[in-house]
Amino acid sequence: MEILKVKTRKRKEVVDITADVERIVSKSNVKEGICFLFVPHATAALTINESADPNIKTDFLESLEKLIPDGIWRHDRIDNNGAAHLKSAIIKPDLMIPIKDSRLLLGTWQAIMLCEFDGPRERKIYVSFLK
């Protein structure tokens, strides 16, 4: 298992980590199999979507903002990050991607997105392989 570390820069941010994961896949010598990603944090999550148009990242953060607004949750009284926990529980911390010919088998418009909902922080992503 490898650990990928990513420093997020904003309170809420979507970071494209595709190139970082691809680099770990290249070094792994796994030709065909599955890449398993897991973020061990309760206010961050992982998903896949388009990165070419950066507006999608903004739309994604804003759509979640409308659905799960800040500042109205019970947990806010303790940590003031209730919405971050809820968004993370909906998007979930686990993600699987197929590998073929030693590369991630993503679609043309797919990129791996680290969802930061309570940054800025240094986040870890565990990267494992299954054959």
Residue from 9, 23, 27, 63 in contact with a second copy (CB under 8 A)? 63
Q: How far is the CB of 11 from a second copy (least distance, A)?
A: 18
Q: How far is the CB of 58 from a second copy (least distance, A)?
A: 6
Which tokens in the block code for residue 111? 């990129």
The phi and psi torsions of 31 (rounded to 5 degrees) equal: -85, -45
- The DSSP 8-state label assigned to residue 2 in this structure reads E
Q: How far is the CB of 26 from a second copy (least distance, A)?
A: 19
Please identify, among the stretches 5-13, 17-25, 92-100, the one whose residues bind a second copy according to the rule CB under 8 A: 92-100
- The DSSP 8-state label assigned to residue 97 in this structure reads E
Number of residues that bind a second copy (CB under 8 A): 52
Which tokens in the block code for residue 70? 């800040």
User: Is 32 near a second copy (CB under 8 A)?
Assistant: yes
Residues near 108 by beta carbon (within 8 Å), at least 6 away in sequence: none
Residue from 80, 98, 103, 120 in contact with a second copy (CB under 8 A)? 98
User: Is 58 near a second copy (CB under 8 A)?
Assistant: yes
Can you point out the beta strands (E) in 1-121?
2-7, 13-16, 33-38, 44-49, 94-100, 103-104, 111-116
Give residue 44's Cα distance to chain centre.
Answer: 7
Which tokens in the block code for residue 6? 């990513």
Binding site for a second copy (CB under 8 A): 1, 32, 34, 36, 38-42, 47-50, 53, 55-56, 58-60, 63, 67-68, 73-75, 77-79, 82, 85-86, 88-98, 100, 105-107, 109-110, 113, 126, 128, 130
